[in-house]
Structure 1
């Protein structure tokens, strides 16, 4: 007599790289935008109505990234973290630690973990003392209809020590996610006897998902492709970190998914099982991205963070001082091709508070508007969008030249028509923040020349810089650790740490002076 069988569907919903975005607004001007958890919540609630078996996971970089989360973490953290409050309300099943979870410090992160009614997972973040998992749990088991057992393993990019302030991650090890996946997937399959292995990895793909060709230097920052190839027992790999939109793909039989950033879309995977008296097997796996464009924001989510938002908006509109002259950004390519008042000002602030006479900084994204004549906190946090601190490191002239060549690779080789950004700085993830501009030295970059040979002038004090001499340079902590493939800065002597957010330093600088004069000393330019 033939066995009777039954088909059972499981839906997995994934958010990733929300970066504190709850409300559908642009904080620079409060204009409405199609993004944020309030709109994602509407989609989640719709899916819950239509799917009995549903798993809801956040893949990391959750609690940092907007003025709302900055105000909570730095000004008033007396109540529950607003982002955690929303995830609790939406009944998330689990979350994974992302690299930006550490940005506001261990106290804010640990509070977020404690306030969550769902488990946080990250098998490869290990406490140095005792060797236990930092989050307490490497994986989570959930049982669905007909006894279908699903194991969710959390993993995080191991590259965090190259970006984060060492004081924040002291006592923590970031182990290789592939090796830890091999260990724990075996436990899930052989000991826990799960029917589906879901790995939620806060990291992306180091290779083209279709061809397998490398798309970046294989530093270990992104190991999604390697996970699929070396741990084929994974059934579904949820990814993030790169802010890409990836769906409908399988690598080595592993279904992969990545839902962009800021809640622009909701990742959805559907798994169909066939259950008989003797076995449960997977017969179908598909994935898609659900857009929030045109979706109405959930009124309950908006209401539950209203108190946080009102305080944030009041703080953002607080006057700081005045700008005499022009510090506005009108064209984001032009500002990267010749010295300008905004970048010169940020470098001046860094040099003032660090005591260093050489500095570098970036224009962090292409939404920056610069500073108007009357400056508020909104203007500051809209232009300096990361909670970076400063570090002074001792480097050689060779290192300075190598760093300038790295920045110069931002441009495609000039073809006589127009200046274009090298696509590796925008694909697969926008990385405009990895082009630095310097103060305290004089230099010229010629983008008609091949990458690696573009620095045609490099001077200090009217003389060609001594490449063998050592110099003290101030930069943000991300860059000082080698972030953005600035490997020439890694493991260099640290002269000074300034553990205060740059946005706070900028605000203090303006408050102390009242009026800031916009200046441009033309110490650098790009030619072709």
Structure 2
């Protein structure tokens, strides 16, 4: 076989880079990835660079450019443009900061964002216009189709619900992969699926299907599956399909070498070789560092800015401590949400399973690490029965151990609600979903409640008669900053939740 009868294409893949653009950050290697990518392009003629999504949220830099300085050009887009990405998939957390932010970021990118199963709610047309990409290398046609886990998108942001719809990823994959093979006739088809093969530790539905595996086995001919939303980097095969998981934060990079033999009317796939590239040994790209010099400086100046000089003590050792008595940190969350909506009843949650509150002289960075999510207040009307159902679901996450009530380790403690404005008792000797006793509210009456949209998003299936009066745009971290800037002491209310039956 003559050498010119062979075509090799190098496919490089990153995932979940989370806008980690601060150099010196041990979890950020995008500048090292830039160096490796440039070397591959110098060595090979045909190179395709893909990202599997998750680049716009998940770090203090992403928070700064979405919430604090949304008018500035996002440095992650600047970097990806400069690195000449061919396409990016779409992750669920791309919607975390709302559609306006996402649409603005996508509009500034010089590469397409691919998601075949995210559509306009009314027309069902692809929301990002480009469900797949077709690119030719020396006559070899490579197609890339993007898919996003519908399970992950479902609870991300209620603002977008009237604008977009999310089709089941496997269903969309079957239709689009068949269409691409019929119309585009690619020699090699890649699926960018943002969703991994591992169930989340806190998944409440243990029957959650493995959509990545179903796409590979049921959706048609897939030559390469690239998944994301995972901490691990791994490669393997599912039947004839090469499978790679690209990890996170550009700590590693997937390099796939695809070899074809050119024939008269077709191109024969000869081999697919996958490799995990460890980037620690590569130098950071000076050109990329220079590109984001002022962006990184702006983030660092903001994160190190002190809120006030007073020592704050809103710390707790573990989330289970919050069950023993009303804690000043929970009181802070309740107070700030009341600043937006004047309601007697509030419903808040802890922001992270690993939450430990706040302490010492605080900087902006401390607020971000204590509450990194852009949760927003929601003015809603609920019946007493709705509220009781919410509390029962939260109480079902609790267990008794050594004469103390704690969170069940298999459950997500961020889904536990902390209420104020009425008294109630949980009897831990009773079976799950029958633990609420001495409930002060009337189940048939309606009540005005201010709660975080996070609580609503995850429990709306229990709210039979909920009426949303207003969704506010200001986020909980911004409200916390505003409250702490005031410097007024936090007055902890009397305990309203009593736990018995230990």
Q: TM-score, normalised by structure 2?
A: 0.84
Match of 1:510 in 2: 484
Q: 1:255 aligns with which of 235, 242, 266?
A: 242
Match of 1:67 in 2: 60
Residue 107 of structure 1: CA displacement?
3.2
Match of 1:94 in 2: 87
Q: 1:154 aligns with which of 146, 154, 157?
A: 146
Distance 1:48 1:215 in 2: 45
Aligned alpha-carbon RMSD (Å):
3.7
SS at match of 1:226: helix
Q: 2:344 aligns with which of 357, 361, 365?
A: 357
Q: 1:202 aligns with which of 194, 198, 204?
A: 194
Alpha carbons of 1:130 and 1:475: their partners in 2 closer, same or farther (altered >3 Å)? same
Alpha carbons of 1:321 and 1:488: their partners in 2 closer, same or farther (altered >3 Å)? farther
Alpha carbons of 1:37 and 1:471: their partners in 2 closer, same or farther (altered >3 Å)? farther
Match of 2:223 in 1: 235
Distance 1:286 1:510 in 2: 55
Q: Does 1:479 align with 2:455?
A: yes
Alpha carbons of 1:219 and 1:340: their partners in 2 closer, same or farther (altered >3 Å)? same
Distance 1:458 1:371 in 2: 33
Distance 2:278 2:74 in 1: 26
Alpha carbons of 1:325 and 1:125: their partners in 2 closer, same or farther (altered >3 Å)? closer
Alpha carbons of 1:77 and 1:351: their partners in 2 closer, same or farther (altered >3 Å)? closer
Match of 2:307 in 1: 320
Moved more, 2-11 or 321-330: 2-11
Moved more, 330-339 or 155-164: 330-339
Match of 1:35 in 2: 28
Distance 2:141 2:324 in 1: 56
Residue 88 of structure 1: CA displacement?
0.8
Show the 5 A alignment for 1:399-438: 399-408=386-395, 410=397, 413=399, 416=402, 422=408, 424-425=410-411, 433-438=414-419
Q: 1:439 aligns with which of 390, 412, 420?
A: 420
Match of 1:186 in 2: 178
8 Å Cα contact 1:342-1:518 kept in structure 2: no
SS at match of 2:27: coil
8 Å Cα contact 1:326-1:518 kept in structure 2: no
Residue 51 of structure 1: CA displacement?
5.1
Show the 5 A alignment for 1:483-502: 483=458, 487-489=461-463, 492-502=466-476
Q: Does 1:226 align with 2:235?
A: no
Distance 2:204 2:258 in 1: 29
Distance 2:427 2:242 in 1: 44
Residue 123 of structure 1: CA displacement?
1.9
Deviations 1:244-271 (A, max 9, x none): 4262344454333333433343344444
Q: TM-score, normalised by structure 1?
A: 0.80
Unaligned runs of 5+ in 2: none
Q: Does 1:519 align with 2:492?
A: yes
Distance 1:270 1:283 in 2: 11
Alpha carbons of 1:368 and 1:41: their partners in 2 closer, same or farther (altered >3 Å)? farther
Unaligned runs of 5+ in 1: 26-31, 209-213, 426-430
Distance 1:20 1:122 in 2: 20
8 Å Cα contact 1:388-1:478 kept in structure 2: yes
